[in-house]
Amino acid sequence: MDEKHSRLECFPPNCLGTLKNKYNFQEIKSGLQNLIATKNPVYSLEDGPCKKCGGNNILQETDTFDTWFMSGQWPLTTLGYPDSKDFKYFYPTSVLDTMWDILFFWVARMMMFGLYFTKKAPFKVIYLHSRVVDEKGQKMSKSKGNVIDPMLMVEKYGADALRMALVFGASPGSDIRINDDKMRAMRNFSNKIWNAARFVLAINPGQIENVSTTKIIKTKHRDDRWILKELKKSNLKITKFIESYRFDLGAQEIYHFFWHAFCDKYIEMSKERKEEAYPILLYVLKESLALLHPFIPFITEEIYQSLPIKNKKECLMVEDWPK
């Protein structure tokens, strides 16, 4: 059953021979709902005559409820309702992530089925993510020829740039425009992260002991204290945004902190005292990589593996979230 296109059902002569004993075609066309087709029915999406049988008895499908009726049972059937271990352990689930235009067709039915059969809503949180449209605000479709191939974008700009472009500015329940300009901007940001790391790591390429948080907090230099204060403010905002499912705002906050506060200001201020500022530079870089990782996972992981700090975690993915 296709919910996007009304299905046209072609009834072969032998099937019509059975049906016409009870109903004429006009009766069927004007509202008969329950039809039993042959074992191997033939379907056509074009007006007649049928390309297979040559007949003109082509009826537009009127019953489109079954698609959503079955889809509404998804939280139940996939977990083995009612007696499976999976259902008893996982239901109700935590978060449903879906696009906003499916809310009334699918999400509402899943909610109704769950409440009817279990007396519990199937999801604690329903996150309605953005719909990706082209630069003119039109929905992407193959027939319009305005589809962007993500694999080509990865080859052209990198997976991190594509990921960040899809998150940055993508408010829940809205449309997000994707084009080459935004991809290039996020590629440039990825390059900024890489170059900032190269600057910091070039100061002291050797292994050092893990930076002491206590020592850093007690630093007396005005520039050092300023960047640590800015890092703390951004950390609190990003954590709050992620916990409240505002990933777009989290991405924007870390973008502005890293590019403008860390790179444009602090790195420039520290160039005359870079050896003295090295522990602060390294510490802020490490914390920034952790804050960037949910949005830009590949470059940040690569840089993290190169940090000259002992007692690192196996990978950035399992590193502690900055406090």
CATH number, position 218 = 1.10.730.10
Q: In this structure, is residue 24 part of a structural domain?
A: yes
Characterize the bridge pairing of strands 93-99 and 123-129. Answer: parallel
Residues 275, 195, single domain; the answer is yes
110 and 229 both lie in a single domain: no
Tokens 């990589």 label which residue? 289
Q: Is 168:256 a contact under the CB 8 Å cutoff? A: no
Q: Do 52 and 71 share a domain, yes or no?
A: no
Q: List the structure tokens of 122.
A: 């199937």
Residue-number span of the structural domain to which 289 is assigned: 175-318
Query: Same domain, yes or no, for 76 and 189?
Result: no
* Distance, CA of 176 to CA of 168 (rounded, Å): 9
Residue 285 near residue 279, CB atoms below 8 Å: no
**How many domains does the chain divide into?**
3
Residue at 135 is within a domain? no
pLDDT number for residue 292: 98
314 with 216, same domain? yes
Q: Tell me whether residue 143 is in a domain.
A: no
Q: What is the pLDDT of residue 3?
A: 38
Nearest Cα to 120, choosing from 143, 98, 88? Answer: 88
pTM: 0.74
Q: Are residues 251 and 193 in the same domain?
A: yes
**pLDDT, position 9:** 45
What CA–CA distance (Å, rounded) separates 139 from 130?
A: 12
Same domain, residue pair 222 and 255: yes
Residue 130 and residue 254: Cα distance in Å, rounded? 20
Q: Which residues of the chain have pLDDT under 70?
A: 1-23, 25, 27-48, 50, 52, 56-66, 205-215, 217
Domain contains 163: no
Residues 58 and 92 in one domain: no
How much is the pLDDT for 142? 82
Q: In this structure, what is the dihedral angle of CA atoms 155, 161, 164, 166, given to the nearest 10 degrees? A: -40
Residue 164 covered by a domain = no
Enumerate residues 6+ apart whose C-beta is below 8 A from 304: 286, 289, 312, 315, 316, 319
Question: If DSSP codes are grouped into helix, strand and coil, which group holds residue 58?
Answer: strand
CA distance 198 to 256: 19
Using DSSP, state whether 275 is helix, strand or coil: helix
Asked whether residue 192 falls in the same domain as residue 256, the answer is yes
Predicted pLDDT at 311 = 75
Query: Both 247 and 271 in a single domain?
Result: yes
| 58 shares a domain with 71 | no
CB 308 within 8 A of CB 206: yes
